[in-house]
Amino acid sequence: MKHLICFLALFLVSGVGSFDLVIDEIPDEVENLIDLEIDGFPSSSKARNGRYQRSTSDWGYVGDLVEDDDKIGLYSYKVQSTITSRLANTMIQAKMVNNAKRPQHIVFDVQVPKGAFIDNFTMDVNGMTFTSHIREKSEARKMYAQAKAKGKAAGIVRSNALDMENFKTEVNVPPGTRIQFELHYHEMIRRKLSSYEHIVSVKPGRLAKHMEVDVRIIEPQGLRYVHVPNSLGDHFDGITTISKGEKKAHVSFKPTMAQQRKCPTCSSTAVDGNFVVQYDVNRETTGGELEIFNGYFIHFFAPENLDPLPKNILFVIDVSGSMWGLKMKQTIEAMKAILSELRAADQFSLIDFNHNVRCWRDNLVSATPSQVEEAKKYIQTIHPNGGTNINEALLRATFILNEAQNLGMLDPNSVSMIVLVSDGDPTVGELKLTTIQKNVKQSIKDEFSLFCLGIGFDVDYDFLQRIATDNRGMAQRIFGNQETSAQMKNFYNQVSTPLLKKIQFNYPQESVSDVTQSSFHNYFGGSEIVVAGKVDTENLQHLESIVTATAANAELVMETLRDVEELDGFMRKDKYADPEFTRKLWAYLTVNQMLAERNTAPTAALKRNITKSILQMSLDHHIVTPFTAMLIENAEKDEIMLADQPKDPRRGCCPGTLGLTPNAPNNNKGIPPWANLTAVPVSFMPEQRSPPVSSLSINRVDNDPHFIIHLPKSQRNICFNINSEPGKILNLVSDPGTGVVVNGQIVGAKKTENKKLNTYFGKIGFYFKKKGLKVEITTETITLKDGSYSITLTWADTGHIIRKQLLISVKKENNVTITVGEEMSFMVLLHRVWKHHPVNVDFLGIYIPPENQFSPETHGLIGQFASEPEVSIHHQTPGQPPEKPQAIMEVKGNKLTVTRGLQKDYRTDRVAGTEVQCWFVHNSGKGFIDGHYKDYLVPHLYSFLKKP
């Protein structure tokens, strides 16, 4: 087997996760039933000496596999989770085979919950096994670089997802190859609204001969209920089975291949979504549960027999222009519902802001029916427009709460909070995110909490999460769609019933150490606090008496912990229970707490110390964090791959919408594969050259401006030149259906040569009318305009601009890629010349894939070919010179004489270019394009083409 050529791994981990769990005996008859339902977990899911081993079970290929046109068969797709006392260990495994008679790419693409820790990945290709090791990031990259220098390493591409994290590998394998992928991760399940919810992504992408999702729950506290909502759709109604005992449960989803089909005759799978398991545990009236096992203790704390405390709540609502439309409408509807749920003992007020800040009331008012109705009327009058002044809005809110506190207007037992609802980044006032974070922290002074709702896909959620965590709150991303209102109300319900404030857990120092998260603020009904630590088993008598939890408004006395020997016997007896659950939960909590502390460390020295501690924890417990990476090697250690945690492209020097990394390589976040030709998959076949660029389906305009139109159906390239005057603007794409315009402005050379003035594109404009966004790219700068707001990068930068689900990615002195969701993408290439060159000037080239989802109304010099015309080329004759034959081309009712020649694609070589064969249409494309090229001249850089 030849060495790796390249490896594509999209691996995302961000945010702080959640957690909770426990166990107990199941009646024998139920346990037997559970064991009969499934053969148990394969050897791949059993931990041996703390590391997962690859499954060595026979693949057992029996019967026919259903294959798509690519002849790739998915023999088995398994998702297996074991939940032990709120710690979920999940394994996703896929076994595939290439039954084609040619080499093919096989993809393993899974989603992992944000906040989960990936701890193992293995891959087996025809018996060659790749296993993973966790290393300090710089060490891992050094090892990778050494292997790469010897041609023994695979490249990486990293990217971030939204609500989940992607882990994607792609390998190129010869015919007959069998390949197995296996990924392991663990997470702690948080309790929300009186329920634990375990979510696993199930997206096999094709029909599987064997498909199963298997979830086992082991809870020593006892199970109140287990529920599996029909999250995958009515198509699978009745397929899931649930077996529940007193302290254990087993959930199984095993659709047959026939049940997986979208329709009886379909070859595509209907399994595409999240599989969800919800449950809750039995609770003592005291609300606390201590579990001690293998030298660690876990303390679950969730009292619910308390009356809610009064709230002092300020709603701070973004009403800038980007909230226009559905987002504002649903925010208003959600706020009206939320206001209706305020209790009589609560006090509240409203602040709405854009570039200005307005208060509905300058002080808190009681939530009487009349005041609530007045607030609803005020909300109804909001009309979004203008910029976004987050700093001033939050400082105004903190001032109102601080003033009320200083004047003695707040109940000592009440809980004060701010709820920020925003979809954007600061564009007015203070723009530096770290300064805003510092300002708010200094103003709040740990006296109340800040909760943040980030609406939409383009919000700087990382910033909202940091500022909320820094101020005793939490953040949640709200996706801007038809469910926005429901998502907002669900989040509010999580924080609307404060039961305790400023809780301090008191553990005997003689028996515990390394306690994590022992002090909390604002415990809310339906949630749970989890504390973990190490325990000295020789001094257990100190814990066996009582543990107290003291709050500002109550003192709760915990009963004795569960009998240690009883728990120990139960855990060791159960074959599915994770014997390391207490250690893993403690590590999970500790790492996440240290990551949060690092974000708010006041000094660089303290931040360095915390970083060292996180790194050591990562290595000790074999988990990928921001300071470690996963090396994946074969047994001989002569082939190496690197799975690294991605950086958030939005975090950088500037105000949220811009992620800028001067003098650093682009991390390729969101860049479509066609624009990043250096990212070649892993190859397990005899070394081959990549396919020539000319075979790629791309429309392009480059050099003087040469148009190359690729016709996918006939697999031909048709070329023509346009010779226009400097300053003129040519329309390339005009699509009134999607509201997208692409225009290019001509620039001339410094002087004529051979009585001809060469012309090029010196400026390209993009207008996304429905988003209200304009992008202007010149040979000096890249500028995004959104109304009065604008932001600019230069070609000396490497960075990203993200706004309204539009991503602009700049690669230093090379190219700009514009990506609009999944619908379309564009690349603009920069050509630099010696600034003292007597003739030549800097210019731009543009590359557009035909797969862009334009509407049938699209036109323009390139846009008109979104609907491919019928082209016939015949009567080929030798030309002068012979290597340039001529032929007759019939197109659009015209017969044209065309010449076979070469043009250049400059994406992989901006100096010499890559030769592309095409049939050249003379006279500025006359007969091939509709009308005359002058019909495509437009007055402004963002003008739509007028209909003929």
- For the record, the structure tokens of 4 come out as 């790796």
- Rounded to an integer, the average pLDDT of 292-302 is 87
Q: How many other CB atoms are found less than 10 A from the CB of residue 502?
A: 16
Residue 161: pLDDT band by 50, 70, 90 thresholds? low
Assigned domain for 616 exists: no
Residue where a domain terminates, one of 540, 564, 599: 599
Nearest to 478 by CA among 420, 534, 533, 521: 420
Digit-coded pLDDT (tens) for 578-615: 989 999 999 999 998 898 888 778 888 998 999 999 99
- Both 419 and 466 in a single domain? yes
CATH classification of the domain holding 320:
3.40.50.410
Residue 702 lies inside a defined structural domain of this protein = no
Q: Alpha carbon of 428 to those of 217, 344, 467, 738, 804: distances in Å? A: 50, 37, 18, 30, 17
Residues 510 and 437 in one domain: no
Separation CA 446–CA 458 (nearest Å): 29
| Tens digit of each residue's pLDDT (9 = 90 or more) over 319-359 | 988 787 778 888 898 999 999 999 999 999 999 998 899 99
Measured distance CA(340)–CA(521) in Å, rounded: 26
Q: How many domains does the chain have?
A: 4
Q: Are residues 866 and 725 in the same domain?
A: yes
Question: Are 784 and 895 contained in the same domain?
Answer: yes
Statement to judge: residues 277 and 392 lie in one domain: no
pLDDT in tens, 503-553: 888 787 778 889 997 778 888 889 999 999 998 877 666 565 445 667 777
Residues 102 and 196 in one domain: yes
CATH number of the structural domain spanning residue 133: 2.60.40
Within a domain: 463: yes
Residue entry with tokens 């920069």:
830
Q: How high is the pLDDT of residue 509?
A: 79
Domain boundary among 496, 521, 539: 496
Residue 134 resides in a domain: yes
Q: Does residue 393 sit within a domain? A: yes
Whether residues 419 and 471 share a domain: the answer is yes
Q: φ, ψ for residue 42 (rounded to 5)?
A: -70, 170
Picking from 466, 496, 526, the residue at the C-terminal end of a domain is: 496
Whole-number Cα distances in Å, 211 to 82, 572, 907: 17, 30, 42
User: Is 948 inside any structural domain?
Assistant: no
Neighbour count for residue 233 (Cβ, 10 Å): 11
CA 736 – CA 720 distance, rounded (Å): 25
Ramachandran angles phi, psi of 248, nearest 5°: -135, 155
Question: Residue 919 and residue 888: Cα distance in Å, rounded?
Answer: 10
Residues 215 and 348 in one domain: no
- Answer yes or no: do 82 and 210 share one domain: yes
Query: Count of H helices and E strands in the chain?
Result: 14, 56
At 378 the pLDDT is 95
pLDDT in tens, 631-646: 888 887 777 777 766 5
Query: In terms of domains, do 442 and 569 share one?
Result: no
Most confident region among 392-401, 544-553, 560-569, 652-661 by mean pLDDT: 392-401
Per the structure, the complete domain to which residue 368 belongs is given by 311-496
Of the given ranges (454-468, 496-510, 536-550, 879-893), which has the lowest mean pLDDT?
Answer: 536-550
Q: Are residues 168 and 240 in the same domain?
A: yes
Both 141 and 172 in one domain: the answer is yes
CA 582 to chain centre: 29
Q: Is residue 96 part of a domain?
A: yes
Question: Would 43 be classed as within a structural domain?
Answer: no
